[in-house]
A and B are shown apart, each in its own frame.
Chain A
Amino acid sequence: MLYFPRWKTVLITLMCLAGLAFAAPNLLTGDQLKNVPSWLPHQRVHLGLDLRGGSHLLLKVSTDEIVKETLESVRDDARSRLRKAKIGYTGLNVQKNIVRVRVRKTEDLDRAYAVLRKIIQPLAGSVFTGAGGADLEVAKDASGAITLTPTTPALTERINSAMAAAMETIRRRVDEMGTTEPNIQRQGVDRILVQVPGLDDPQQLKNIIGKTAKLSFHSVHATITASEAKATTRPPGFDIYPSKDGFAREYLLNKRAVVSGEDLVDSQPGFDQRTNEPIVSFRFNSKGSRRFGKWTQNNVGRPFAIVLDKEVISAPVVREAILGGTGQISGSFTVEGANNLAILLRSGALPATITVVEERTVGASLGADSVTAGAMAALIGLGAVIVFMIVAYGSFGLFSTAALLINLSLIIGVLSIIQATLTLPGIAGIVLTIGMAVDANVLIFERIREELRAGKSSINAIETGYKRALGTILDANITTFIAAFILFIMGSGPVRGFAVTLSIGIIMSVFTAFTVTRLMISWWLSGKKRGAVELPI
């Protein structure tokens, strides 16, 4: 156990030096770091939001809505195909997870079935699932109705693509706010995590993220008002929309939009040249301009409504045909309101409603205090443990101190390399490691003492001490590692940061106990005369 071949010595030394080199940038200030040559390590530990200050928001995307929309589009598709094929049907509706329809005449059943089967599209599939399969199952049920059921892979695909779109939209919105280094990532099936360093009041961010921002332009019913429609019946294809334009409480609008937000290419906040009130100007793409131009041409003198998230924000009257594809929305905006709306329109609509389900914001001052207090606790803890080890084991305690310091720099080096996030509980993990890391050395040294008392020679005692302690150390540390690993998998945020430092700490302390201290003892012994060596423990 005490003989080290040269290559092992070199390897161990190199590893320790590498650990020191990768940990070193953490001691430098930002300016000093700029002067470090690029071939040297220059990554620092990535501080978590709880240490540097910032905002952490967990968002939930309504997947129910996405499923519902999928079903509704299947229903619409079924309706138009049945109409085209001139098949009479009744009771076409969405029920829970299926679309169901009944044909009027039984002889049409097979033809309807054939027509509806044409809706089925193959799924793209992936490397993992092989050929995609179908997106829809069409079946005739016992009661003579036809059911259309979107398959699970099809729904998963829809949800995944909606989540990707939602993340992209949120990224654009957060970027528009001029924040630095936002981190946006998906969590689980329907969650999106947004972390913005340095932001200590996320209110505006929440206002902006939470808006679906589905914009559309609708025609207002020419003769019937919303209140009349409420009293009598709603004309087909029309619906009542609440309004916050300050003129009417509700409008009766054509449900089918003339142009929708997807055709917008730009929008900017500004001021109306005549009234000087805040406005939002926008520009359509060519398809949007064509449709909007044609529609305004035919409807001069009539009102239309600008609808955002099913709410009328403005209902101006068409004064003349708008052919250039640009326009402006004036409502009762504040400057900030106009600014936010422009951001929302520019970044596009979210595919589904998003709610904030968790917020954690830490001010920069608390973060800095935590770092100072954590570093202080770590240093004092380290000092106490070092004194204790040296008192208990003399020179050997010094070896284990060196190992402990190397251990710490290895932890920090590894954290810097893998760019793991260091959180406040992470610092606690490091402090705990300081206390527990010497355990391996304590086990070895106590074992050596025992072997010495059993009458073994010094070298023999060290050899057996190491050999016997190995199994114990592995068993003891693997069990702790299991707990840390489970914590890593199940935990979130700061707790996960704790698991990371604890796991790395465990691995490194086993490594240093078996290489660094052993190597030092072997060097120490080789400097002694042959024969009886007295151990300092």
Chain B
Amino acid sequence: MAFRGLDFLPHGTKFPFISFRKLSFALSSLALLASIGLFTVKGLNYGIDFRGGTLVEIQTEGTADIGSLRSKLGSLGLGDVQIQQFGAPTDVLIRVEEQAGGEEAQQAVVGKIRSALGDGVTYRRTEVVGPTVSAELITSGTEAVILAILAVLVYIWFRFEWQFSLGAVAALVHDILLTIGIFSFLQLEFNLSIIAALLTIVGYSLNDTVVVYDRIRENLRKFKKMPLEQLLDLSINETLSRTILTSVTTLLALGSLFVFGTEVIRGFTFAMIWGVVVGTYSSIFIGAPILLYFGVKRDWSGVGGSKYKDPTVGKSA
């Protein structure tokens, strides 16, 4: 049995990716500035994981009457109470802000909601996060992301060269900041699972960048006299079909999760899809061209590649 696959992606492409660097850098800088601006001005719509408070997901027997729920819960004196439909018309999400008065006050909220809503309501999910835990989750979440970036910086430095390491981290920080930016722009809930998504984006974005870098390193050994810009273009083009294919399969899986998965992980899936798209872009348009500015080591003799020494040192920026 043997049947051919459709080799539908063109090969031997010669897209001059690097020559777009001014445009891509400008675009990315703009997006980064916008992200940072949004984050500082508009901030993030933190979920209760980071803000503390109470979240209750209920299912009503018929279509939920948001107005009546609002009036029932509004009179409890719990401060800011957000009520929104969540997925199906019978499903409602109730969010209550963190109460003054420490851990006990938080714990009392669910009891109050239960007695106010009475029977005829199914409690699908209850989450209460007190001030101690929310503060810790913010710290450990931030630490995790920073630690992951540092670990990766060291790994790539060890496997490649410091220029690659910096380039990969630049692409990575770019992807993470843009993800935070989109969450701030759309005011999507930012919770623990988004931190998980950010860390996975760290992994995915690197995966992509490393594949391109690997090819760059290989070509550096192979074509010792080729101008760096041309060499970077060649490497990106050579790995282009792989980059696209892998992005497509990953997006297929994530898309299925986004459409068919539950409401609970929709935010996570959205972050991942965004991360894959941005990560693919950045490994081509940020990670690779940035090497032009760092000046890559051209003499790889002794490390592998051809045996004889090539006296010429290639052009670097």
Q: Is B125 an interface residue (CB 8 A)?
A: yes
List A residues 356-393 near B (Cβ within 8 Å). 356-363, 365-366, 369-370, 373-374, 376-378, 380-382, 384-385, 388-393
Given A395-B2, A439-B207, A453-B11, check contact A362 B111 (CB 8 Å): no
Cα–Cα distance between A382 and B1 once the two chains are bound (Å):
23
Q: Is B78 an interface residue (CB 8 A)?
A: no
Q: Is B122 an interface residue (CB 8 A)?
A: yes
Closest to A439 in B: B246
Q: Is A491 an interface residue (CB 8 A)?
A: yes
Which among B1, B128, B141, B207 is the interface contact of A359 at CB below 8 angstroms?
A: B128
Q: Is A250 an interface residue (CB 8 A)?
A: no
Closest Cβ–Cβ distance, residue A178 to chain B (whole Å): 21
- For the complex, count residues of B whose C-beta is within 8 A of A: 83
Q: Is A498 an interface residue (CB 8 A)?
A: yes
Which among B1, B193, B239 is the interface contact of A494 at CB below 8 angstroms?
A: B193
Which among B196, B211, B251, B268 is the interface contact of A443 at CB below 8 angstroms?
A: B211
Residues of A within 8 A of B195 (CB): 495
Which among B126, B193, B245 is the interface contact of A425 at CB below 8 angstroms?
A: B193
Question: Per-residue CB proximity of A335-374 to B under 8 Å, as 1/0?
Answer: 0000000000000000000011111111101100110011
- Tell me whether B124 and A475 are in contact (CB under 8 A): no
Cα–Cα distance between A495 and B196 once the two chains are bound (Å):
6
Question: Per-residue CB proximity of B202-219 to A under 8 Å, as 1/0?
Answer: 111011101100110010
- For the complex, count residues of A whose C-beta is within 8 A of B: 83
Given A435-B254, A479-B156, A536-B2, check contact A358 B129 (CB 8 Å): yes
Which among B8, B248, B262 is the interface contact of A424 at CB below 8 angstroms?
A: B262
- Tell me whether A431 and B211 are in contact (CB under 8 A): no
- Tell me whether A424 and B253 are in contact (CB under 8 A): no
Q: Is A409 an interface residue (CB 8 A)?
A: no
Cα–Cα distance between A363 and B59 once the two chains are bound (Å):
11
Residues of A within 8 A of B296 (CB): none
Q: Is A165 an interface residue (CB 8 A)?
A: no
Question: Per-residue CB proximity of B232-270 to A under 8 Å, as 1/0?
Answer: 000000110110011011111111110111101100110
Closest Cβ–Cβ distance, residue A263 to chain B (whole Å): 30
Cα–Cα distance between A450 and B239 once the two chains are bound (Å):
10
Question: Per-residue CB proximity of B189-206 to A under 8 Å, as 1/0?
Answer: 000110110011011101
Given A436-B204, A472-B211, A482-B148, check contact A442 B250 (CB 8 Å): no
- Tell me whether B253 and A434 are in contact (CB under 8 A): yes
- Tell me whether A442 and B252 are in contact (CB under 8 A): no
Q: Is B159 an interface residue (CB 8 A)?
A: yes
Residues of B within 8 A of A524 (CB): 2
Cα–Cα distance between A396 and B129 once the two chains are bound (Å):
50
- Tell me whether A394 and B125 are in contact (CB under 8 A): no
Residues of A within 8 A of B130 (CB): 355-358
Residues of B within 8 A of A495 (CB): 192-193, 195-196
Residues of B within 8 A of A471 (CB): 214
Question: Which of A385, A395, A453, A482 has the most C-beta atoms of chain B within 10 angstroms of its own C-beta?
Answer: A482
Stretch at the interface among A33-41, A134-142, A200-208, A323-331: A200-208
- Tell me whether A432 and B254 are in contact (CB under 8 A): yes
Residues of A within 8 A of B127 (CB): 359-361
- Tell me whether B207 and A477 are in contact (CB under 8 A): yes
Which among A385, A392, A443, A480 is the interface contact of B203 at CB below 8 angstroms?
A: A480
Interface Cβ pair total, 8 Å cutoff: 259
Closest Cβ–Cβ distance, residue B176 to chain A (whole Å): 11
Stretch at the interface among B39-47, B102-110, B177-185, B286-294: B102-110
Residues of A within 8 A of B147 (CB): 486, 490
List A residues 379-424 near B (Cβ within 8 Å). 380-382, 384-385, 388-397, 424
Closest to B168 in A: A479
Residues of B within 8 A of A391 (CB): 5-6, 8
Cα–Cα distance between A424 and B130 once the two chains are bound (Å):
23
Residues of A within 8 A of B7 (CB): 392, 449, 537
Closest Cβ–Cβ distance, residue A434 to chain B (whole Å): 5
- Tell me whether B199 and A388 are in contact (CB under 8 A): no
Residues of A within 8 A of B144 (CB): 486-487, 490-491
- Tell me whether A482 and B242 are in contact (CB under 8 A): no
Which among B59, B156, B210, B260 is the interface contact of A472 at CB below 8 angstroms?
A: B210
Which among A365, A435, A487 is the interface contact of B59 at CB below 8 angstroms?
A: A365
Which among B129, B132, B207, B264 is the interface contact of A479 at CB below 8 angstroms?
A: B207
Given A392-B5, A486-B151, check contact A432 B261 (CB 8 Å): no
- Tell me whether A431 and B192 are in contact (CB under 8 A): no
Q: Which 8 A-B pairs have the closest CB atoms?
A: A435-B253, A480-B203, A394-B5, A381-B256, A435-B250, A483-B203, A381-B253, A490-B144
Query: Can you name 17 A-B pairs with beta carbons within 8 Å?
Result: A359-B129, A362-B125, A366-B57, A370-B262, A373-B262, A377-B259, A381-B255, A394-B5, A395-B3, A428-B261, A436-B246, A438-B249, A442-B246, A475-B210, A480-B207, A484-B203, A487-B199
Instruction: Using CB atoms and an 8 Å cutoff, list the residues of chain A in contact with chain B.
Output: 50, 58, 60, 200-201, 203, 206, 355-363, 365-366, 369-370, 373-374, 376-378, 380-382, 384-385, 388-397, 424-425, 428, 431-432, 434-436, 438-439, 442-443, 446, 449-450, 453, 468, 471-472, 475-484, 486-487, 490-492, 494-495, 498-499, 502, 524, 534, 536-537
Seed contacts A370-B262, A384-B252, A490-B147; 4 additional CB < 8 Å A-B pairs: A60-B132, A361-B127, A366-B57, A373-B262
